Amino acid sequence: MVENGFQSSFMQEAAARGFIFQCTDPAALDEAMVKGSVAAYIGFDPTADSLHVGSLIQIMMLRLLQKHGHRPVALVGGGTARIGDPSFREEARRLMTEDTIRTNLAGIEGCLRQFLTFSDDASGNVGSGAILVNNADWLDKLAYIDLLRDIGVHFSINRMLSFDSVKNRLDREQGLTFLEFNYSILQSYDFRELNRRHGVTLQLGGSDQWGNIVSGVDLVRRTDQASVMGLTTPLLTTSSGAKMGKTANGAVWLSENRLPVFDYWQFWRNTEDADVGRFLRLFTDLPLEECARLEALQGAEINEAKKILATEATALCHGRDAAQAAAEAARQTFEEGKVAAADLPVHSVPQAMLAEGVPVFRLFVEAGLVKTNGEARRLVRGGGARVNNAVVQDENTVISEKDMADGAIRLSSGKKHHVLVKVG
């Protein structure tokens, strides 16, 4: 398929698609994958009830693993969430309550189920069914003295201090608490536990996890004389250097509850030209030849590639039907200039609100297009607010049932953000 020196189908495709940044032992991993099924894990922190695009490259890697007959193991850090990963953070993360963590775990599982096929067989048998595990199952039971004697002896403070993730925090004015310092020890412990329980021999992660991953590899080798490996993905930024997945309202969420499918599709549709090929390879299942063909489109033609990227990426996350509906809504809205295309995000308001009439700036807040009244006023003053395609001149204009067109009122913030307000 592609000449990159690897024998295993997974390594060939992962390398060709741009998933690989660093690997503790590429040759050994390649060999293991030729011999049989490998179980690999990635940890997700339950800091929110949905994953976002920042984690998508990891999820896609798990998906790729499954495609090639290996077993993806998703670890949610119910235990480590109570500590917080200090890696490359400016400040200590605030600690979360048990309740929050529990809700978040469920939400994250929902996101993962869109991308992976889970197996109910969580035994040590290596297959390709994904499994989901929670490290609270073992971390919560740890006894301090036992832990220190068991694995504490294998960690060198000198070494830990040399890791970029720690060094960074130490070099900056922000300190590092002992609590946070232990994160990487527990992550190593996770790796060993997964190796023992589920035969996991590979840990995946973003390049910022390199230090933590290597620590785990060392621990398993020292205590269990087992050989396990680590593989990291590149840190993703857009071609113009911005962090991947940040928008106006924060993160680009994978959960529909947090981000309408239409907006998810729009996120991908607005990819920078220079990123199209890279994103097609990482975030869709399209064959490499097709990615290359689309990437080569020049000028305005590359918009076709972006539409395909958007639909394919959205299909993976929200299903083919929803993706096509989003594509169609975008086509009607942007290419036909239709006001109330079906499948635009909908916001329902009480009948009474429209019966009485409501100032337009309030309606924008209510619909979630802006966060505050002041922001809504500024939007109007800047000429960026529209109702049913007409620019709003006065922020105090009253909107009522009279403004309904085809059973809805379309509010727009700028050219790209639209919400249909309906009664309900």
**Contacts (Cβ under 8 Å, ≥6 apart) of 273:** 302
Which is nearest to 111 in space by CA: 296, 263, 252?
Answer: 252
Angle 392-396-398 from CA coordinates, rounded to 5°: 85
CB of 384 to RNA, least distance (A): 3
| Gap between the Cα atoms of 86 and 177, Å rounded | 9
Query: What is 310-348 written as a DSSP string?
Result: HHHHHHHHH-HHHHHHHHHHHIIIIIS--SS-TTS-EEE
Q: Are strands 385-387 and 409-413 parallel, antiparallel or unpaired?
A: antiparallel
Angle 331-247-94 from CA coordinates, rounded to 5°: 145
CB of 170 to RNA, least distance (A): 7
**Contacts (Cβ under 8 Å, ≥6 apart) of 422:** 346, 347, 348, 349, 407, 408, 409
CB of 135 to RNA, least distance (A): 27
Is 174 annotated to bind ligand? no
CB of 379 to RNA, least distance (A): 6
Residue 227 or 249 with smaller CB distance to RNA: 249
Residue 223 or 388 with smaller CB distance to RNA: 388
Residue 307: what are its φ and ψ, rounded to 5°? Answer: -65, -40
Residue 148 or 248 with smaller CB distance to RNA: 248
CB of 308 to RNA, least distance (A): 12
Is 114 annotated to bind ligand? no
Q: Which residues bind RNA (CB under 7 A)?
A: 90, 170, 173-175, 240, 242, 246-248, 266, 269-273, 299-300, 302-303, 306-307, 330-331, 333-335, 359, 371-375, 377-379, 382-384, 396, 413-417
Q: Give how far the C-alpha of residue 169 lies from the chain's centroid of Cα atoms, to the nearest Å.
A: 25
Q: Which residues of 221-255 are buried (b: 16+ CB within 10 A; e: fewer)?
A: eebeeeebbbbbbeebebeeeeebbeeeeebbbbb
Is 183 annotated to bind ligand? yes
Residue 10 or 265 with smaller CB distance to RNA: 265
CB of 247 to RNA, least distance (A): 5
Residue 4 or 303 with smaller CB distance to RNA: 303
Helix ranges restricted to H, 6-156: 9-17, 26-35, 56-67, 98-115, 136-139, 144-150
Is 338 annotated to bind ligand? no
CB of 286 to RNA, least distance (A): 18
Q: From residue 78, how far is each of 74, 86, 190, 395 by CA, in Å?
A: 12, 16, 12, 46
Annotated binding site: 41, 183, 187, 246
Annotated binding site for L-tyrosine: 41, 183, 187
Annotated binding site for ATP: 246
